[in-house]
Amino acid sequence: MPFPTDLDNFFDPGATTPLNNTPKGHSDWHTDPNTAIEALEEKVGADSSAVTTSHDYKLSGVTGSDKAVSKTGTETLTNKTLTSPVINNPTGAVAGKLGSAKRTSTFTTTTVGSLVDVTDLSVTVTVPEGDREIKITVFGNNLANNTSVSYLQTVIREGSTTLQIATVDQAAVGDRVPFSCIYVGTATAGSHTYKASILQENAGTLSLAAAATYPAFILVELI
């Protein structure tokens, strides 16, 4: 009997079919349907079945006037908990935080004229399907060159690609300037790593002030 792996094709005896017909005789006419009925019962399952392959077990949560949820239909679900869902519908991805990182101690560099990545201010995020717009915010207490007057830059990058630059000129040695930069743009779906970098024009020690009470941070949001 092929069921449940395939549908049965029963022999249908006629009024003049002899009982000893070959290859299907009288006993087969009873045995084959009986076997098929038993297979159907196993597939459907008894009420409150504990057999995990039975339909009764699999549909045990569908009670009263409830219907089973379809794959492409529009239904309203209540009292459901989604554990680690993967949402592929770009119109359904909710705007909000994708990831962030912070630094809670002062960062310094003596590099001149080249971008320096700020340790800890790097974050990897996953952008949902649909080439969504993101907003990246880099912020901190202040930047300062305590040796010479310099223009100072805060830069948002992905790898070696610059996404946004904020440049501020010091008016005097030691002037504290904002450590702040914001980027808004479209990101392709998938994993992206964004980071904050800083640069000073003239020689000296460039300091990014940070502490536990006033951390510097990078924040990536879906908008």
Instruction: Give the structural domain span for 162.
Output: 91-222
Q: In this predicted model, what pLDDT tens digit does every residue of 68-126 receive, in sequence order?
A: 888 888 888 888 888 887 766 555 567 899 999 999 999 999 999 999 999 999 999 99
Of 21, 47, 79, which residue sits at a domain end? Answer: 79
Beta strand 107-109 pairing with 206-209? antiparallel
Instruction: Give the residue with greater pLDDT, 129 vs 169.
Output: 169
Residue percentage of the chain with pLDDT more than 90: 51
Whether residue 200 sits in one domain with residue 151: yes
Q: What is the mean pLDDT of residues 123-130?
A: 91
Question: Does residue 154 belong to any structural domain of this protein?
Answer: yes
The pLDDT value given to residue 93: 61
What's the distance, Cα to Cα, between the start and end of the chain in Å? 58
Whether residue 212 sits in one domain with residue 140: yes
Whether residue 109 sits in one domain with residue 72: no
In this structure, which amino acid lies at residue 188? Answer: T
Whether residue 200 sits in one domain with residue 133: yes
Whether residue 193 sits in one domain with residue 125: yes
Beta strand 177-186 pairing with 216-222? unpaired
Kindly report whether the global pTM for this prediction surpasses the value 0.85.
no
Whether residue 176 sits in one domain with residue 215: yes
23: phi > 0 → left, psi -120 to 50 → alpha, else beta; which? alpha
Q: Is the pLDDT reported for residue 6 higher than 70?
A: yes
Of 33, 50, 79, which residue sits at a domain end? Answer: 79
Whether residue 202 sits in one domain with residue 100: yes
Q: Is the pLDDT reported for residue 141 higher than 90?
A: yes
Whether residue 74 sits in one domain with residue 129: no
What's the gap between Cα 8 and its chain centre? 45
In this structure, which amino acid lies at residue 198? Answer: I
The pLDDT value given to residue 20: 76
Q: In this predicted model, what pLDDT tens digit does every residue of 13-66 receive, in sequence order?
A: 877 778 777 777 777 767 778 878 888 888 888 988 888 988 888 888 888 888
Whether residue 203 sits in one domain with residue 115: yes
CB–CB of 118/95 below 8 Å? Answer: no
